[in-house]
Amino acid sequence: MSTAVTKSSTNTHNARQQEFLRPYYEVTGDRDTYQVHVYLPGVAKDGATITLEKDNLLVEASRRPHWQEGWRPVHREIPAADFRLRLQLNMSVDEERISATSRDGVLTISLPVAEEAKPRTIAIE
């Protein structure tokens, strides 16, 4: 690690920190296909990007502001930060067949397990 990186991480006052929120996620599925459901309220379908690099699945999403210009906030609970989720996958995934859908603020990524990673029974001679 270069010294430049460590320096900026300790200098929290000046470093331009982008604060991210780690969204809640759930994993369902069977041995052939897994689905990762990432809860991203307020994120439109085009607001999320999914990247798969080796075994790292990265989901980044930006929220659009859910309030009008110039309105006074009376009570705030919903955070305005963008989302970032990085998961390390335990098995290889068939990259050609990955798909994702978004519904009601939940992004569902369908990850088919690569053929060679599926369990197979071995016949005993």
Partner 1 sequence: MRLIKHDNFWNDSFADIDVWMNRLFNNTALFDQRMNTAPDRGFRVDSFAGDDAYQVVAELPGIPKDAINVTLENAVLTISGEHSFGEGDNARRFQFSRSVTVGDDIDAGKVSAKHENGLLTITLPKAEERKPKAITVN
Binding site for partner 1 (CB under 8 A): 9, 17, 19-24, 27-29, 31, 34, 36-37, 39-44, 55, 66-68, 70-79, 81, 84, 86-91, 102-106, 111, 119
What is the end-to-end Cα distance of the chain in Å, rounded?
A: 52
Q: Would you say 119 or 125 has its CB closer to partner 1?
A: 119
Run of H or E including 25:
strand 25-29
Q: Would you say 107 or 123 has its CB closer to partner 1?
A: 107
**Least distance between partner 1 and beta carbon 125 (Å):** 27
**Least distance between partner 1 and beta carbon 123 (Å):** 21
- The alpha carbon torsion through 115, 117, 120, 124 (nearest 10 deg) reads 120
Q: How far apart are CA 111 and CA 108, in angstroms?
A: 10
